[in-house]
Structure 1
Amino acid sequence: MGILNMTPDSFSDGGKFNSEKSALLHAGKMMGEGASIIDIGPQSTRPKADFLTAAEEIKRLGKIISLIKSEFPELLISLDTFYAETVKFGFDEGIDIVNDISAGQFDSQMIETVLKTGLPYILMHVNPDYASMHEKIKYDDITCDVNRFLLEKADELLKTGMKDIILDPGFGFGKGITDQYKLLDESQYIGLGKFPVLIGISRKSFIYKQLGKGPNEVTEETQQLHRKVLEKGASILRVHDVAATKVAVDQFLRN
């Protein structure tokens, strides 16, 4: 899953792809490098990012979803939003997956809206509201706590009739460095094998800060971690560096 941030303030590529032309070119580049899914984000969720309304997200998206679908029909498009109204817009434009960092907690209409679309839903572990989503939580056992949250939410969704659920343990959201490495080491337990698992660690600060590097300087370290989570059963890698990740995936598949 290649990341397409249509934002001026994302932490590593803000402002690079927030025009239709640059976004379309980047989507094509990522597809050529091996991405089969493009995750479009109209709003940055890094700490201290500008908060946008659904209307502002929709305005920022413009026609890029339908343009990508028209130009690259084989690509699956995931829409990264926590707003029901943005999901409705994206569905009309042709999205294939809803990627909701909020687990339905930031918009009371989100789950009902996703159900109506019938689209697959990425369910992420996060703190219960937007204001607290980056507050560090002290966990007794992060893997057990994250798993409990995800499985309880997934069970609720299954009871509503939702069928296609993907779990995301939420790296970079309210978790300390030690806990995140523990979660990586124990990622085989996420979902207990009942659901596909998405891992999104690309350019996250828990990797680069302790190394004294920047977010764009840890490609090899990130690929080492990608190989680890693939061995532990990860189904989807959400990444900025598609070409490097494709090499890691191919190496894993050959072994």
Structure 2
Amino acid sequence: MTDYFRPLVQIGPARPDTALPLAGGWGWFTHAEVLSRYAPPRVVPAADIPASVMARLTAPRPTMAGLTLDRPRIMGILNTTPDSFSDGGQHNAVPDALRVAQEMVAAGADILDIGGESTRPGADFVPVSEEITRTAPVIAALRGAGLHTPISIDTRKAAVAEAAVSAGANLVNDVSGFTFDPALGPLCQKLALPVCVMHAQGDPATMHLDPQYDNVLLDVFDALERQISMLEASGIPRGAILADPGIGFGKTQDHNLALLARLSLFHALGTPILLGVSRKRFIGTIGNAPQAQDRAPGSIAVALAGLGQGVQMIRVHDVDDTRQAVALWHAAYFGSIL
């Protein structure tokens, strides 16, 4: 019987001598919740956590794409697509994308995530050549304009990633968790690229059609562990891998909320965590905001809850508002300015 250990993360200036650091970041813990497929959850002292799990929970996360992960990091979303659910058609011309990217960096984005294929529920497949045409020229223009901020290419396809890296991208963010294109993992290993492994059940075209799990939290954890272990065996160090539980990707609202409530479990993967919830449907449903552009307050609320569980990176559309919220969140909890 497999037990899963979720650190009960605490933050703030008062820290017991017995507290253990969480992933080299701002959180700490003294207890953990033990989760199982066969028994009710229970809380145990940290001393009961197995040494192998404890090592993953406490080890500082290495620098990734030039970013230290001992403080919250903001990933700004730049979709160069005509049909993304929130901002489709707004940035698919190079001058528009360049302007918005520069605004995001000025507002406080630590890294930009550039994608040329919509992954909204029901989205159609985009041919490789079209996806390259949408993304590589934008990345090249950003580098040509002197932008040194790290850039992530949001793609499932090796050829798109290779073109993006040639243009100046630093990280590959694959919403399929490296299950779509068997050439993508070896390419990232060859180029020594950091990667983000996201969980999704099904393809974007069909993932919203009645997703099912035995236990969504543990099923997603196990799926990510399998993919991370596969990449590690292929030569990509675990320290070069971000894990994303894939909120909204093949998951109902109840699935999303179950993952968010126990998000700190994913620290046991031994990787930093990326949380992408910005403007998603469940935020509009719970927050009574039918239009995606009206969901910034709810998106920020969920992002801050993620930071409270030690999440190292949050993926957002509204960089300026999020940066302000994170700065005040930190000041209020720690009595200091980031």
Counterpart in the other structure of 1:47: 121
* Residue 82 of structure 1 pairs with residue 156 of structure 2: yes
Pairs within 5 Å for 1:194-213: 194-213=270-289
Structure with more helix by fraction: 1
Residue in structure 2 matched with residue 229 of structure 1 by the alignment = 306
Moved more, 213-222 or 92-101: 213-222
Structure 1: gaps of 5 or more residues: none
Letter in 2 for 1:136: D
Deviation at 1:74, TM superposition (A): 2.5
For residues 216 and 129 of structure 1, the distance between their equivalents in structure 2, rounded to whole angstroms, comes to 25
Relative to structure 1, the CA distance from residue 73 to residue 62 in structure 2 (aligned partners, 3 Å threshold; closer, same or farther) is closer
CA separation in 2, counterparts of 1:120 and 1:62? 18
Q: Distance in 1 between matches of 2:165 and 2:103?
A: 24
- Paired residue for 2:100? 26
Q: State the 4+ residue runs in structure 1 displaced beyond 6 angstroms.
A: none
State yes or no: 1:245 paired with 2:325.
no
For the Cα contact (< 8 Å) 1:99–1:123, is it kept in 2? yes
**Aligned match for 2:232, one of 151, 158, 164:** 158
Q: Larger Cα Rg: Structure 1 or Structure 2?
A: 2
**What runs of 5+ residues in structure 2 fail to find an aligned partner?**
1-74, 334-338
* Contact 1:42-1:80 within 8 A present in 2 as well: yes
**Are 1:57 and 2:106 counterparts?**
no
In the alignment, the residues of structure 2 paired with residue 202 and residue 129 of structure 1 have an alpha-carbon distance, to the nearest angstrom, of 20
Superposed, which structure 2 residues align to 1:71-110 within 5 Å? 71-110=145-184
Specify the alignment match of 2:222 in structure 1: 148
Aligned length: 255
Q: Which amino acid aligns with 2:140?
A: S
- Specify the SS of the correspondent of 2:294: coil
Greater RCO structure (CA 8 Å; 6+ sep): 2
* Residues 203/232 of structure 1: CA separation in 2 closer, same or farther (3 Å cut): same
Structure 2 CA distance for aligned equivalents of residues 130 and 107 of structure 1: 15
Q: Give the TM-score normalised by structure 2.
A: 0.72
Distance in 2 of aligned mates of 1:252 and 1:136:
36
Tell whether 2:289 aligns with 1:174.
Answer: no
Displacement of 1:131: 4.7
Residue 6 of structure 1 corresponds to which residue in structure 2? 80
Match of 2:197 in 1: 123
Task: Measure, in 1, the Cα distance between the counterparts of 2:302 and 2:228.
Answer: 26
Match for residue 259 of structure 2? 183
Write the distance in 2 (CA, Å) between the matches of 1:105 and 1:21: 33
